[in-house]
Chains A and B, each alone.
Chain A
Amino acid sequence: MSHSFAVPSPTPTPAAPSGIALLQVRKDYGQATVLHSVDLSLKPGELVCLLGPSGCGKTTALRCLAGLEDVTSGSVLIDGQDVSGIPVNKRDIGMVFQAYSLFPHMTVQKNVEFGLRMRKISASVRRQRVAESLELVGLSGFDDRFAAQLSGGQQQRVALARALVTRPRALLLDEPLSALDAKVRVRLREQIRAIVTDLGITTVFVTHDQEEALAISDRVAVMNQGRIEQFDTPQEIYRHPVSAFVADFVGISNKLPGLIEDDQHVLVHGQSIPVAKMGNAKVGQAVTAFVRPEHLRILRAGENIGPALDGVVISSGFLGSLRRTLVRLAAPKSEIAVQHEASEEFLPGDRVVVSVLPVPVAVGA
């Protein structure tokens, strides 16, 4: 029996191409609005992560998609069909929850075939499809176990098999890895990515872990306070964050004071830097520029040419092929992180100068 995460062959018949969308979806709980007219459209077979801090509305958006919450206004589309008024058990979706959700009184076999039983599929077909699904998640031979006899990672893999066995139109994953330890998380997320890619199933994955989101998604929707701040590929989200929130939430950003120079540039310590998205900022306005550590250049004092910030090295950490050095600036008085080649070594107390590379940055008030 293979224990690798490679998808075995033959695999279950891939689900028919599907796409899902939230159109102007609003969700209120009493006076509180949790989702503000959210628009989200997934291409068939795409894996999209909803990423954001706790309370940003990502799980609510997923639950609206699933039908576990009614939308206050707007529409939910699956395969082009408006399913807003259709109950969850008729939406033909597969879902994996954050909490272990296997039925404790049932064996793995009974758990996985539950959805097929609900669809009145014959026993012989059920057996075959359960075997295929368990093989898909690398748990063949575990049919007679109960949930309590499985590890957390195995339980989530059974939950995944159970969600996929019905060949749903969409797969919804609500922080399925958050209860697992770091090593298992990485392995399981790779397995999930491999399986959904192979089956071509449209997938929404909710997480608050930016590394997880960037690693497995085709596209990431960064959410904040019930709104989608940016919906783009992981590379674009990281390289060209369109808002201060995205720049601050995804990856590490240094906050440097700047002045809006024109409708495309911000002046940061005498350097004109392109702006990814200007938003409401006006020419001459004081703003904060969010600069990635790798978009800064560090040199020893006296080596620089052109405008730069003077500072003293606080510490320098080895990251393999790279180093991250923390510098205390003379003016403005703040600390910034600079990422550079591991071969360039700086010691605490070294006097350095830091300049900003002309890479588009996000700005905020």
Chain B
Amino acid sequence: MSRVATPPQKWLRRVILWGVTLIFLIPLFAMTEFTLRSPGGGYSFEHWLALGEIGDSRQYRVLANGLSNSAVLSGLTLVLVLGVFAPTIIWVHLRFPKFERILDLLTVLPIAIPAIALVVGFAPIYRLLGKSLGSGEWTLFLAYGVLVLPFTYRAIMADLQGMDARVLSEAARSLGATWFAVFTRVLIPGLRRGLLSASLLTIAIVMGEFTVSSLLSRTTFQTGLLQISQTNPFIAVLVSLLSLIIMFVLLATVSGAGSRIRNSKVRTPSAKEKSYVA
């Protein structure tokens, strides 16, 4: 006989909530405390003030280069995700649903295969690419496209299934819309939350990626941080802390925007409105 699950007690919910909050906050506090330590003892804002020199100082050049490379890579990977992956995922969902299972399986591979093993495959491809495209850091966006695929695919697919995209596109087509109009006026606006989530995940993964860039000898934000940490661990931890906070804020913004979109569309009908209900 099946048992009906009862929700946990209020006190237990609070304990779990506080436990999870502490797990997130304690490392952040520890990082903050570390960045405030002064080499001569005591606490000061010395390292925080040094942050302004990152752009100019020779000492921090590798970090500045890594940051700008990762920013460019984020942009290029986003273009790949939004310009190629998203339309492909939508198109397969609408027109070739029988291939969805294959696509689903393919997109799991970058998670199933360890990054270090992926690099073994990437290396000869990048040797070939190097002959035609050069060995600039920006070429990493192709590898990053593969790495972000599992996450972006699921973010977009969840929205696609939730909005019943097939019916909506057929409704739009029956009203005279071309496929371009179906994409731009019906599907993309309907998928904005999924696309936003996919974009955020893409940025987070690219900014945090270390293995591929390190093994392919490219300078990115994470490899720059590693190098700096060997000479100035305070700045390395400080920049890591800031990047974490920025990602949390972005995540909260996206989550809040999603809730506002949902709440703006759901309202209890008034008694007068209910009288209209057919």
Contact = CB atoms under 8 A, between A and B. Distances in A.
Partners in one complex: yes
A103 B190 contact: yes
A138 B276 contact: yes
A60 to B, nearest CB: 14
A114 B265 contact: no
Given A149-B265, A149-B269, A68 B190 contact: no
A55 interface: no
A214 interface: no
Interface string B262-278: 00111101000001111
Interface in A145-181: 146-151, 153-154, 157, 159, 162-163, 166, 172
Contacts of B192: 105
Contacts of A153: 277-278
B271 to A, nearest CB: 13
Interface stretch (A184-192, A204-212, A244-252, A291-299): A184-192
A104 B174 contact: no
Contact of B265 (A97, A147, A159): A147
B22 to A, nearest CB: 37
Interface string A63-90: 0001010000000000000000001111
Contacts of B174: 66, 68, 88-89, 93-95, 163, 172
Interface in B151-206: 163-164, 167-168, 170-178, 181, 185-186, 189-190, 192
A294 B177 CA distance: 51
How big is the A interface, by class?
35 or more
B173 A89 contact: yes
Residue among B185, B267, B275 facing the most chain A CB atoms (10 A cut-off): B185
B178 A89 contact: yes
A187 B278 contact: yes
Contact of A154 (B266, B267, B276): B276
A68 B170 CA distance: 7
B167 A99 contact: yes
Contacts of A93: 174
Contacts of B277: 151, 153-154, 184
B278 A151 contact: yes
A121 to B, nearest CB: 11
Contacts of A119: 176
A89 B176 contact: yes
Interface residues of B, number: 28
Contacts of A3: 275-276
A154 B278 contact: yes
B278 A148 contact: no
Interface in A110-159: 114-115, 118-119, 138-139, 142, 146-151, 153-154, 157, 159
A93 B178 CA distance: 14
A115 B176 contact: yes
Contacts of A149: 265-267, 269
A79 B188 CA distance: 35
Given A101-B170, A146-B265, A159-B171, 20 more contacts: A89-B175, A89-B177, A94-B175, A95-B170, A97-B167, A104-B190, A115-B176, A138-B276, A142-B276, A146-B264, A147-B265, A149-B265, A149-B266, A149-B267, A151-B277, A166-B176, A172-B174, A184-B277, A184-B278, A191-B278
Of all A-B residue pairs in the complex, the 3 with the closest CB atoms, nearest first, are A153-B278, A115-B175, A118-B176
Interface of A: 3, 66, 68, 87-90, 92-95, 97, 99, 101, 103-105, 114-115, 118-119, 138-139, 142, 146-151, 153-154, 157, 159, 162-163, 166, 172, 184, 187-188, 191
29 contacts: A68-B170, A87-B173, A92-B176, A93-B174, A95-B174, A99-B167, A101-B168, A103-B168, A103-B186, A103-B190, A104-B163, A104-B190, A105-B192, A114-B172, A114-B175, A118-B175, A118-B181, A119-B176, A149-B265, A149-B269, A150-B269, A151-B269, A151-B278, A153-B277, A157-B278, A159-B171, A163-B174, A163-B175, A166-B175
